[in-house]
Structure 1
Amino acid sequence: MYFIERYLGKLKSYVFNKARPEGSIAEAHLAFECVIFCSCYLDGVDSKFSLVSSIDKCDEIPESSSIIGESNIFIQGGKPLGKPATGRISKINKIQAHRYILFNSSEVTDFLKEHASELRRHSRPRRISLNEIERIQHETFHEWFREHVSKLEASNGPECLSEELRMLARGPLDVVTKYQAYDINGFSFRPKCYDKCTQNSGVVVIAKTSSYASVSDR
């Protein structure tokens, strides 16, 4: 019923003369259709037909949005909404965010393979399955990666690794900036605490099976 309720709310906004609600709706709807039809033949003019939403405008990533040089990881796409607030991130959310970044970064693929080979060596003579390797990596890879990068920096110097890998190994900060919502890729995301609660409008559809049965009996 949400689609019908939204459409009824749109029609209700067309009523400017409460004495003639049907005529107001018909006149406003006709004007809206005419504007949409005419805008199809206008090039280079912002109209309701070709207007880009504010969420879609956020997908354009500026050149200066990269935190580290030409990095493809730390690029800020989208647009935060609301007043920013500083807060501490929980431990489980920090691990989940760190894990997601590591498993979806092409720069860490070689380290994932190295960690899997190390797990196979430690499990000998028993042969470890691929599902078990994925489960262990899901739980311990972020800690192993941090320690492994620290060992490489201690033995070969910080110049042996890029700044991206060192930041990936450190993980997210404990103190983060929070927003009420975030627009990206044509969608708007918001926490549950800011989400609006829907109410039942009382509009229901009751299927009268008994009447159909009585008609068929006749």
Structure 2
Amino acid sequence: MIFPPAFFDIMVHLAIHLPDEALLAGPVQYMWMYPFERYLGKFKRYVRNRARPEGSIAEAYVHVECVTFCSMYLNDIETRYNREEQNIDLVGQTSREASLSVFSQKVLPLGAARMEKLPDALFSKAEWYVLNNCAEIEDYIDDHYNKMKEEDPSNIERRHQSQFPTWFRTRIAELHAKTPSEVTDDIYALACGPDPLVASYAGCIMNGIRFHTNDLEGRRRTQNSGVVVLPTMKDCQLTSTVCCRTS
């Protein structure tokens, strides 16, 4: 009474049976035909003689099997089975090891670097994320947190996050002036704060996976722009989404 008869074509009718099919067969990936359709499309590309399509497919299949068998046993020749991965991470082999644990991530940036200044809000979040996740300064973080708790028990987390960078910079400067041997160069550089100018890249490779920015993928069908940083135990309320920004 609402839709015209022409509306109920085969595609609309199949949607009625989808709930029953899901209950019977489970997730849709266990029963769809896409892998077989792709494989049949591969066979169609084997046809060179349209008068004998079956013979062309059989001959090409045997040829591919022979080449595959031989290439798996050739060690001194690069084949599809022994060549390196396209998204291999080479940072660990070309750069020195980071002295602080928070900077130990192996990321390979792609493309030319573009220098830009971070907004104040994003700069503060990035600085706090680095300081709060650096295992080498956990004692300083606990001291400042206890100090904030003794002064005023209200809004401890917010005051701790906003005041710790300044307090940590002053504390390390005093220790470095009195007893320089107790403060390493890396801790002192970390306390001085990061550079507001960062190098921004259009893509990066991390853990064998290639990621791109949203701007780069505007005209592409595939999307590799989502990089999620899982929160730590000390930072359980913080979930950051990084879009291929390396500083």
Task: Give the TM-score normalised by structure 1.
Answer: 0.63
Which residue of structure 2 aligns with residue 15 of structure 1? 45
- Give, in angstroms, the shift of residue 173 of structure 1: 0.9
Contact 2:202-2:216 within 8 A present in 1 as well: yes
**One-letter amino acid of the structure 1 residue matched with residue 139 of structure 2:** D
Instruction: Identify the match of residue 61 of structure 1 among 92, 100, 103.
Output: 92
C-alpha spacing 1:36/1:117, structure 2 compared with 1 (3 Å) = farther
Measure, in 2, the Cα distance between the counterparts of 1:25 and 1:137.
Answer: 69
- Give, in angstroms, the shift of residue 141 of structure 1: 2.8
Which residue of structure 1 aligns with residue 201 of structure 2? 179
Contact 2:100-2:134 within 8 A present in 1 as well: no
C-alpha spacing 1:44/1:107, structure 2 compared with 1 (3 Å) = farther
Contact 1:66-1:76 within 8 A present in 2 as well: no
Measure, in 1, the Cα distance between the counterparts of 2:218 and 2:48.
Answer: 30
**One-letter amino acid of the structure 1 residue matched with residue 213 of structure 2:** P
Contact 1:98-1:172 within 8 A present in 2 as well: yes
The reply to whether residue 77 of structure 1 matches residue 99 of structure 2 is no
The 10-residue stretch of structure 1 (169-178 or 29-38) with the greater mean CA deviation from structure 2: 29-38
Contact 1:81-1:181 within 8 A present in 2 as well: yes
- Give, in angstroms, the shift of residue 50 of structure 1: 3.2
Task: Give the TM-score normalised by structure 2.
Answer: 0.57
Measure, in 1, the Cα distance between the counterparts of 2:174 and 2:48.
Answer: 76
Q: Which has the higher relative contact order, 1 or 2, with Cα contacts under 8 A spaced 6 or more apart?
A: 1
Instruction: Identify the match of residue 90 of structure 1 among 119, 138, 141.
Output: 119
Q: Deviations over 1:188-209 (max 9, x none)?
A: 222222124566xxxxxxxxxx
Contact 2:46-2:60 within 8 A present in 1 as well: no
C-alpha spacing 1:33/1:168, structure 2 compared with 1 (3 Å) = farther
Query: RMSD of the alignment, in Å?
Result: 4.1
| Count of equivalent residues | 187
3-state SS in 2 of match to 1:141: helix
Instruction: Identify the match of residue 143 of structure 1 among 166, 170, 175.
Output: 166
**One-letter amino acid of the structure 1 residue matched with residue 144 of structure 2:** H
- Give, in angstroms, the shift of residue 165 of structure 1: 0.9
Instruction: Identify the match of residue 80 of structure 2 among 48, 51, 54.
Output: 48
Measure, in 1, the Cα distance between the counterparts of 2:194 and 2:137.
Answer: 16
The reply to whether residue 122 of structure 1 matches residue 154 of structure 2 is no
Contact 1:89-1:174 within 8 A present in 2 as well: yes
Identical columns (%) = 26
Q: Which has the higher helix share?
A: 1
Measure, in 1, the Cα distance between the counterparts of 2:220 and 2:138.
Answer: 44
- Give, in angstroms, the shift of residue 118 of structure 1: 1.2
**One-letter amino acid of the structure 1 residue matched with residue 210 of structure 2:** S
- Give, in angstroms, the shift of residue 80 of structure 1: 1.5
- Give, in angstroms, the shift of residue 81 of structure 1: 1.0
Contact 1:86-1:178 within 8 A present in 2 as well: yes
- Give, in angstroms, the shift of residue 167 of structure 1: 1.8
Measure, in 2, the Cα distance between the counterparts of 1:168 and 1:51.
Answer: 40
